[in-house]
Structure 1
Amino acid sequence: MAGTTLPTPLYGRYQEQIGFSELMVTVVFATYAAAVIGVLLAAGNYSDTAGRRPVLLFAMALSAASAGCFLLQSGLPLLFAGRLLSGGAAGLLSGAATAAVIELAGPRHKARAAFAATAANMGGLGCGPLLSGIVAQYTPWPLTLPFWIHLGLVALASGIILMLPETVADTRRWPPPAPQGVRVPPEVKGVFAPASVAAFAGFALLGLFTAVAPSFTSRTLGVHNLAVSGAVVFCVFFASTLGQYWTGRIGARRALPVGCGVLVAGLVLVASSLIAESMPLLVLGALCGGGGQGLAFRAALALISGAAPARHRGGTISAFFVVAYAGISLPVVGVGALATWLGLRPAGLIFTAFVMLLAACAGTYAARRPPAGA
């Protein structure tokens, strides 16, 4: 997952080298999310029949190929190819790896395993920009060394996967894909609606920081240090991981509406930072909004994976991630389009107002009608 956000602090360098607009930055970023959604729709349930381990190894191969595209890039085509391959890897990992971690843990440790899986998702996404920002700022190889490091991490992860036991009992060797679309079992539908709307709102905040925050820090705040830009993005994912930790203490039933409320407060701080052009407010908004996103995200994932039948768990989790990754891509492209017309600050304010409304609606619904079995 760290590989999917490695390019975040580097987009400014790519803009200087290749020459493209802020809208194109968000389109390149959204290409990744579109690939995630496409893979989730086409093969989100594939690991339920082919097994977790083969799917995870194929995802590692796609991740390595993505790093190769960035190492060889000389223009937009390879940037797009790298983001597509990275999205394919993340799409396969989102459902298969989460299901594998929960199944490997056994029935007594499912809550801890759910936290480990979601923390790996968010922690990895946060470590990507932090790593590439530091390397790009303080080494002579800003556009290559981050991806060589990533290739080393992929090799290490692949070795670990090869040693893991297979958790799917009845597997078939590379069965043909059976695209499921966005479908969930009937027993999950009551949980799925509020959980997925909350995830959409939370991932929209993550998308804003991942795609646009580095441009805001350099162009509006005048901070050109790539390590600082990477650290700002890291803050939102680090806070998300902490929020996921507290979900276990609060309980999923309360964490879903509470997380939405904290997310709204974080968005208010982000909007204030845009108005006041304040770095401290932006960091506070990242920490508060990320914490709320983490609370709501882990609660939503735990409720959905707990309600899903074992034979459909990978596909159900993948359907949940389809909605989440729609949130990380569609609103951000809207911000990029509005930024070319109105400017970055007005576009960001419109975005925060829209996401605040979504999070408030999801939190109110979850508070008034708690998911069954929560």
Structure 2
Amino acid sequence: MKETCMTTSAIEPAPTRPAKAVAATAFAFSVTMMGTTLPTPLYSIYSDELAFSALTVTVLFAVYALGVVGALSLFGRLSDDLGRRPVLMLAVGFALLSAVLFLLPPSLPQLVVARVISGLGAGFMSGAGTAAMMDLFPAHRRAVAGTVAVAANTGGLALGTLIAGLIAESASKPLFTPFAVHLALCALALVGLLVWTPAPEHAGRFVIRPHRLRVPAELRRAFTRAVLAAGSGFAATGVLTAVSAMFLARELHLESHALAGFVVFLAFAGMAAGQLVARRMRPRIALPLGCVGMIVGVVFLAWALAFVVLPPLLIAAATVGVSAGLCMNAGIATTVEQALPERRGEVSSSFFAGLYLMLALPAIGVGLLATVIGLRGAGLVFTAAVALLAAVVAIASLATSRLE
């Protein structure tokens, strides 16, 4: 299929009711991201009912990253061509379809498909939602737009696991009710987008553009450090998300779904807070500080795993989240924000593709290793690897800062 050559932009004009457009966009962003973490506190239930192993649970968690990376690779510029609103509605549509699949009687193939579709929605929303938020604010308030986008993104991730845990704790159908609520929220988000967000003036054709994700040569060193630093935080958060419910149930004998959701909520809420704090810091300070915090966080995680205690697990979740947020914001500042405008989308897609791969692959690795040495042993090996990676990146970052 040939690419569309356009002489006019599909970007929307400034809306006549910007406050409502911002609210509708932020709500849709949060609802879509909620869907990716909604199953988190429910994995122990799926594990019991369908006899899932630790490997199966980690794979089930990680496959949604394939959808995210696929959306970033194939449709990175789709909202530039079609306009923001159609792609935002497409993202929410994928989230809604995922919720419908989760409402059906569960089986492993169906759950895998639902997770991949959820990842596609998150991939579409990550790019189009952030761009749409930038469009809705004047140039001198772009920092505010970025803050709102960050809050909607990571706030949705945090709320998804917390809400699912609370609902599952009190509902008679814990594998049904959270997704029924999410389905209703998706429907509301679609209505809000349709009514309050601006329609594109000149929409192009739907074009699939598979492309190789590349980074300009002058940014590759900074890009590598940024992805490894923020990616180590994503890896730690991913493993916490994938296995914390099973660890609480099987090792600590704590069956509370609300508690399982709260542990992961701490990580994602911390990530949001870390990104906001990093906006007041220089990237060359925020990145190594985040790496040091990551080391502290995984030490607490190792403590929780080695001695099977809860308080260090809670501290680890919050510390890892804040540290990952620091690294993520510093990474964006030293890569995406430094790219030329015509390469910025490609660099951004490359950055987030790297993060989501580091979210997925270590979680699967822990699942594989758990089949050999058990969940706790696999977790301890993982914490050592993350601590080593974070230390190397921190040293490299400090050395580079001294040379500049």
Residue in 2 aligned with 1:338?
369
Kindly indicate whether the alpha-carbon contact (under 8 Å) linking 1:66 and 1:82 is maintained by their aligned counterparts in 2.
Answer: yes
The answer as to 2:102 corresponding to 1:73 is no
Residue in 1 aligned with 2:189?
157
| Alignment match of 1:146 (pick from 163, 178, 181) | 178
Q: CA shift at 1:190, angstroms?
A: 4.7
Q: In the TM superposition, what are the counterparts of 1:146-225 in structure 2 within 5 Å?
A: 146-162=178-194, 163-165=196-198, 172-186=203-217, 188-225=219-256
Q: In the TM superposition, what are the counterparts of 1:216-365 in structure 2 within 5 Å?
A: 216-365=247-396
Q: CA shift at 1:309, angstroms?
A: 3.1
- Code of the residue aligned with 2:142 in structure 1: it is K
Q: CA shift at 1:88, angstroms?
A: 0.6
Q: In the TM superposition, what are the counterparts of 1:85-100 in structure 2 within 5 Å?
A: 85-100=117-132
- Residues 258 and 139 from structure 1, CA distance in 2 versus in 1: closer, same or farther, beyond 3 angstroms? same
- Residues 47 and 82 from structure 1, CA distance in 2 versus in 1: closer, same or farther, beyond 3 angstroms? same
* Backbone CA RMSD of aligned residues: 2.1
Q: CA shift at 1:266, angstroms?
A: 0.6
Kindly indicate whether the alpha-carbon contact (under 8 Å) linking 1:199 and 1:323 is maintained by their aligned counterparts in 2.
Answer: no
The 2-side partners of 1:195 and 1:2 are apart by 25
Q: In the TM superposition, what are the counterparts of 1:9-158 in structure 2 within 5 Å?
A: 9-158=41-190
Kindly indicate whether the alpha-carbon contact (under 8 Å) linking 1:96 and 1:314 is maintained by their aligned counterparts in 2.
Answer: no
The 2-side partners of 1:186 and 1:161 are apart by 39
SS of 1:183's partner is coil
Deviations along 1:116-142, one digit per CA (max 9) or x if unpaired, are 222322211111111111111111121
- Code of the residue aligned with 1:43 in structure 2: it is F
The 1-side partners of 2:323 and 2:198 are apart by 35
Deviations along 1:27-69, one digit per CA (max 9) or x if unpaired, are 1111111221122122223223333222111111111000000
The 2-side partners of 1:50 and 1:153 are apart by 24
SS of 1:250's partner is coil
- Residues 111 and 368 from structure 1, CA distance in 2 versus in 1: closer, same or farther, beyond 3 angstroms? farther
The 2-side partners of 1:112 and 1:251 are apart by 18
Deviations along 1:324-370, one digit per CA (max 9) or x if unpaired, are 00111000000001111100111001111111122222222222224
SS of 1:105's partner is coil
The 2-side partners of 1:166 and 1:309 are apart by 28
Structure 2 gaps, min length 5: 1-32
| Alignment match of 1:4 (pick from 28, 36, 50) | 36
Structure 1 gaps, min length 5: none
The 2-side partners of 1:23 and 1:239 are apart by 27
Kindly indicate whether the alpha-carbon contact (under 8 Å) linking 1:243 and 1:293 is maintained by their aligned counterparts in 2.
Answer: yes
Kindly indicate whether the alpha-carbon contact (under 8 Å) linking 1:192 and 1:320 is maintained by their aligned counterparts in 2.
Answer: yes
Deviations along 1:60-118, one digit per CA (max 9) or x if unpaired, are 11110000000013311211111010011111112221222234333222233223222
Q: CA shift at 1:2, angstroms?
A: 0.7
Of 345-354 and 110-119, deviating more is 110-119
- Code of the residue aligned with 1:18 in structure 2: it is L
TM-score (norm. length: structure 2): 0.86
- Residues 301 and 104 from structure 1, CA distance in 2 versus in 1: closer, same or farther, beyond 3 angstroms? farther
